[in-house]
Amino acid sequence: MQKYFHTWYVFCPRCKTSLEYDDHSTRCSSCGFVAYLNASPGVGAIIEKDHAILLVKRKFDPHKNTWDIPGGFLNSDESFESALHRELFEELGVEINIVRYLGSEADEYNGRPIINTIFLCTIVSGTPVPTDDIAEIQWFDRENMPYNDIAFAYVKKIVQSYINTS
Ligand SMILES: [Zn+2]
């Protein structure tokens, strides 16, 4: 993880002294400020209906115009579950039920480390329509997933894993 951070923060945000680094944190020897530079938590949904999985086309970079699973980053006061409910409503206008936890994958997003957790979900209310940062939605048959056009390596991995084990 070290590679991400040594170039990010040069000076202490509190007192402007040059920072010192170790493998897990960035420290100020002057005022004691410590930044623990963990991965940013995200959450995503695999939604299956009639042997098809819902993917969303990204409207913006990174990976603009490639397929992704719906989801996003947690706000600072959210659980994974509440963030997933919020993101799916914002992006698709649907209310979901979380069926079960599928797993988590580390990756990077705009050069910063992320940890994404993925849940199997069903839609309980609403018909998905693309809004917010989604350009388009499509249900892909299990046997015809667009693996060569999926935004993130971890998304491809988790979708393949889900299909191979369910
Ligand atoms: Zn300081």
Structural domains present in the chain: 7-37 (no CATH), 40-165 (3.90.79.10)
Query: Pick the residue with more confidence: 87 or 8?
Result: 87
User: 30-61 burial string, b = 16+ CB within 10 Å, else e?
Assistant: eeebebebebebbbbbbbbeeebbbbbbbeee
pLDDT digits (tens, 9 = 90+) for 55-108: 999 999 988 999 999 999 999 999 999 999 999 999 999 999 999 999 999 988
Q: What is the arithmetic mean of pLDDT over 9-25?
A: 87
- Give the model's pLDDT for residue 46: 98
Which residue in this structure is represented by tokens 């990174």?
A: 62
Q: Is the pLDDT of residue 120 over 70?
A: yes
Q: What is the dihedral of CA 31, 37, 40, 41, to 10 degrees?
A: -100
Instruction: State residue 4's pLDDT score.
Output: 56
Q: What 3-state class would DSSP assign to 8?
A: coil
Q: Pick 4 or 71 by higher pLDDT.
A: 71
Distance 65 CA to ligand 1 centre (A): 42
* pLDDT score, position 66: 95
User: What residues pack around ion ligand 1 (CB closer than 5 A)?
Assistant: 12, 14-15, 17, 28, 30-31, 33
Average confidence (pLDDT) over 24-47: 90
- Pairwise CA distance, residues 116 & 111, whole Å: 15
Q: What is the pLDDT of residue 1?
A: 44
Res. 7 pLDDT band, cuts 50 70 90? low
CA of 113 to the centre of ligand 1 (A): 24
For ligand 1, the distance from its centroid to the CA atom of residue 11, given in whole angstroms, is 8
Predicted TM-score of the model (pTM) = 0.85
Confidence of residue 2 (pLDDT cuts 50, 70, 90): very low
In 3D, which of 68, 66, 110 has the Cα closest to residue 87?
Answer: 68
Does pLDDT of 23 surpass 80? no
What is the rounded average pLDDT for all residues in the chain? 91
CA of 109 to the centre of ligand 1 (A): 28
Ligand 1 centroid to 21 CA: how many Å? 13
Rounded to whole angstroms, the Cα distance separating 64 from 72 reads: 15
Higher pLDDT, 4 or 132: 132
Centre of ligand 1 to C-alpha 10, Å, is 11
What distance in Å separates the CA atoms of residue 108 and residue 116, rounded to the nearest whole number?
A: 10
